[in-house]
Amino acid sequence: MLVIRPVRPADLPSLERLAGSATPRLTNLPAHRDRLEERIARSQRAFAGDIDAPGDEHYIFVLEDLERGEVAGTATIRAQAGVREAYYTYRQETLIHASQQLDVRREVPTLALSHEVSDATLLCALSLDARYKGTSAESLLRRARLMFISQYPERFADLLAMAFPGYLDGQGESPFWNSVGRHFFVRDYQEINYFAGVRSKSFVAEVMPQFPLYLALLTPQARAAIGREHPDHESAMNEMLAEGFLRSRHVDIFDAGPVIKGERERLASFRRAAWHPVRIRPAHALPDAEPAMIANQRLADFRCVVARYALSPTGQLMLSPEHAELLGVEEGRAVLAAPLALPGADADEPGYDEGEL
Amino acid sequence: MRMRPIVETDIDELQALARETGVGFTSLPDNREFLAARIASTVSAFEERTPVDQRLYFFVLEDEETGRLAGCCAIEGQVGRETPFYHYRLGTLAHSSVQLDLHRTIDTLFLSSDHTGDAEVASLFLRPEYRGGDHRHQRNGALLSMMRWLFMAEFRDRFPEKVLAEMRGVFDERGRSPFWECLGSHFFPLDFDEADKLTGLGQKSFIGELMPKFPIYTPFLSEAARACIGEVHEHTRPALAMLKKQGLRWEGYIDIFDGGPTVEAYIDDVRGVRLSRRCRVEVKAGALEASPRPRWLAATTGMAGFRAAWLGRGPDEHGVVTLDEGEARRLEVASGDTLRILDTEEEA
C-alpha cells in the first residue's frame, strides 16, 4: 500500500537518497544533508502553521511504501516561487525589426530575464525510485499536491507553475548552459546547479546577463534546447498538460527547460474533485470502479492514496478498512476524491497561456 | 603635387578613384550621381553657402605635371545631422558575486550615436602609383592626411569640439568580414557589400530599423568575430598610425558592420591643429635650398581657392617663410600673403 504524507525528520536519509538519484539532478532538491534537514524543518513549520496567504512556505511530501517500509518518492510545493528573492526565468519574446527602406520585416527572437513567475505557486523537487516509474504511484506523487492545494486554497496562489528539467545531451551537459551561462560563470552545468540548490538560485541569476539575449547568437544546439524538457520527463509533461497546465513562454535560466503554468480552476483535478462521506466495506465487497486519488482533510496529517472510486447510490465513497485507517477516517467523515485518469489531451498541440498572447 | 577643393570638372577622375577603392571603403561609392552630389555639396561649402553643421569639404590631390588626380580626402563638418550615425561602443560590465566567489568582466557592445555632431575626417584614398616606391619621398599620403588639420586650424570656428575617423575593419582573404558574418548577417537581409553600399550612399535608416537595440555580449560572438573588434585592415595600418601620431585615440567605438575602430580627439588637441601657425610669405626668384624629404606643410588661409602643399623649408625666426617661384605658383600666393605652416617633424 502506498500513501502520500508530509515529510518527517526520520525521512532525512530517504530524502538524501532520492535527491542523489534524481535524473537529472534537481536544483530544488540538492543532495546535501544539512540543506535537506533545514527543508524538512521548514516543511514541518509550514504544515503546522496558521497561514492565510501564500508566503515562503515549503510543503514537502513523501510517498511511503508501507509493505516495503520505505520512502519511495518525494515532491514539494513552494507556496510562492519567489518571496524574499525573485524567481528568475527567461521569457521568450519576439521583436519585429522592419525596414521600409529595404521593404523587409524580420522576427527577431530574444530571451529576456523575467520575474513574472515569482508570484505563482511552484510544484517542484519531485524524485521517485526508478521501480515506481510509470505506475499509478508516479501520478499520485505528482498530483497529490493538487489535492492538498485544493483543500487549502488560501495557502497558495491561483496560478500554479512547474519548471521541468531541461534537455541535457548524452554526456549530461546542457547545450543551453554551455552557450549562455558558462560564458559568465566558467563553471559547468552540474556544478552551478548544485550551487543553486545548496545556496540560492537568485545569487546566480543576479549575475546572469541582464539584457535580453538574441537567439541568433546562440549555438544551434542551445536554440534547439529552449523549452525542451529532459527526455526522462516527457511523460510527466504530458500528464500535466492533460491536467490542464499550459506551456508558457518562460524557460529555466540554466538549462532552458520549459515552465508550464496552470490556473487552479482550469485543472482537471480541481474541477473534478468532490467531497464524499466515507462508508467502510471489506475490500472484497467493494464494487469495481476507476482508480481515484482520495485525500483526508487533516492538514498536518494529510494523507492521500489511490483507491477505487466506488460510490454508493447515495454518494458515499466506499473504502476498505485498510484505506480508511491509512487516511485516518472513520465512517461518516468526508474525504476528497478525484479520478486518477485524466481527460484525453492532445499532447501534440499544447496550448499557450491565453494571458500571454 | 598639391591639394585643392574638388570642382565639378573632376567628376570623371573622381569616379575613376571610386572604382579603385573597393569594399569597405564606404564613403566613396562608385555611383556617379552620388559623387556629383558630393562635389556640389563641396562647392557650396567652400562658398560658405551651406550651414556649418551640414558642410562637406572634399579635397583632391592634383598631379600638376599630368593634371591627374592622385588621391582625395574629406572633412565632414558634423556627422549624424541629416542621417543617423551609428557605432558600437565596446563597454565592460562587471559580473560579480561574493557568494559565488566570482568576479568577471564581460565585454559588451552597445549601439550608440554618441558621435552625432562631431567632425569627421574621411575618404582618404591615394592611388597605388602615387604610393611607396619612387614616390615614398613625396609623402603624398601624409599630405592628404595632415592638410586637413591645417584647414581645421585655419577655420576653427566652422568645426565642433571633436573629430573622428572611421578605420576600415578586418576582412579575410575572400574579402569577407568575420564580424559581419557573425553579427550583422543575422539581422540584415543583405550581404556586406550591399549593406555597405547603402551606408555609403547615406541611406542608413535601415541600420536603426534592423540592428539589434540591446547590447551584445561579446562572448556570444565567434572568436574570429571578436578578433575583429577594434582591429584595422592591414592596408589601413599606415593611415591609422598617422592619425594616432596626431593624437587621435581609439576610445572603444567600432563600426557596426566590420568592427573596425573609430579614432577620435578634441580638435584643439590634435597635433597639427595645435602646432601649425601662420607665417608671412616672401617669394624669391631662383633656386632655393630645400630639404630632401618634405617636412613643412603649408596651407593657404582663404576658404575660396584653398591650396595645400609641401614646402622645401620652414619659417625663419621672424615667422617669415621663403618660397621659390614654383612653390608660390603651386599655392597661388605672392609675397606679403599669409600661409599656415606645420613642421611635421617637430616634437609635440
Residue B184 CA to residue B227 CA, distance in Å, equals 15
Give A111-147 pLDDT, tens digit per residue.
999 999 999 999 999 999 999 999 999 999 999 999 9
Residue B146 near residue B311, CB atoms below 8 Å: no
- Residue B233 bears catalytic tag: yes
Q: At residue A214, does pLDDT exceed 90?
A: yes
Residue A339 CA to residue A290 CA, distance in Å, equals 7
Q: Which of A99, A180, A191, A206 to mutate to test the interface with B (most CBs of B within 10 A)?
A: A99
Closest by Cβ to B99, choosing from A98, A106, A203: A203
Q: How far is B205 from chain A (nearest CA, A)?
A: 7
pLDDT tier for residue B347 given thresholds of 50, 70 and 90: low
Q: What is the dihedral of CA B37, B40, B45, B50, to 10 degrees?
A: -70
Q: What is the dihedral of CA A214, A220, A221, A222, to 10 degrees?
A: 0
Give A277-301 pLDDT, tens digit per residue.
999 999 999 999 999 999 999 999 9
Residue A143 CA to residue A58 CA, distance in Å, equals 16
Q: CB pairs below 8 Å between A and B: how many?
A: 80
pLDDT, mean of residues A59-73? 96
State chain A's mean pLDDT as an integer: 92
Closest by Cβ to B219, choosing from A100, A183, A195: A183
Q: How far is B233 from chain A (nearest CA, A)?
A: 25
Upstream peptide bond of A24 is cis (omega within 30 degrees of 0): yes
The confidence score (pLDDT) of residue A240 equals 96
Residue B112 CA to residue A355 CA, distance in Å, equals 35
| Alpha-carbon dihedral sign for residues B231, B234, B239, B242 | positive
Give A317-342 pLDDT, tens digit per residue.
999 999 999 999 999 999 999 999 99
The confidence score (pLDDT) of residue A352 equals 52
pLDDT tier for residue A349 given thresholds of 50, 70 and 90: very low
User: Helix A234-243 crosses helix A136-151 at what angle (to 10 degrees)?
Assistant: 40
Residue B265 CA to residue B268 CA, distance in Å, equals 8
Interface of B with A (CB under 8 A): 95-97, 99-100, 102, 104, 106, 108, 182-183, 186-187, 189-190, 198, 203, 205-206, 209-212, 214-217, 219-221
Closest by Cβ to A184, choosing from B95, B183, B206: B95
Q: At residue A101, does pLDDT exceed 50?
A: yes
Residue A335 near residue A296, CB atoms below 8 Å: yes
Contact B210 A102 (CB under 8 A): yes
Residue B144 near residue B126, CB atoms below 8 Å: yes
Please state, for a pLDDT cut of 90, what percent of chain A lies above it: 79
Q: At residue A357, does pLDDT exceed 50?
A: no
Residue A311 CA to residue A307 CA, distance in Å, equals 12
Contact B220 A108 (CB under 8 A): no
Contact B206 A108 (CB under 8 A): no
Q: How many Cα atoms are found within 13 Å in the side-chain-facing hemisphere of B329?
A: 6
Give B74-113 pLDDT, tens digit per residue.
999 999 888 888 999 999 988 888 877 888 889 999 999 9
The length of chain A in residues reads 357
Grid cell at residue A83: 518571496
Residue B91 CA to residue B70 CA, distance in Å, equals 40
Q: How far apart are the first and last CA of chain A?
A: 45
Q: How far is A55 from chain B (nearest CA, A)?
A: 24
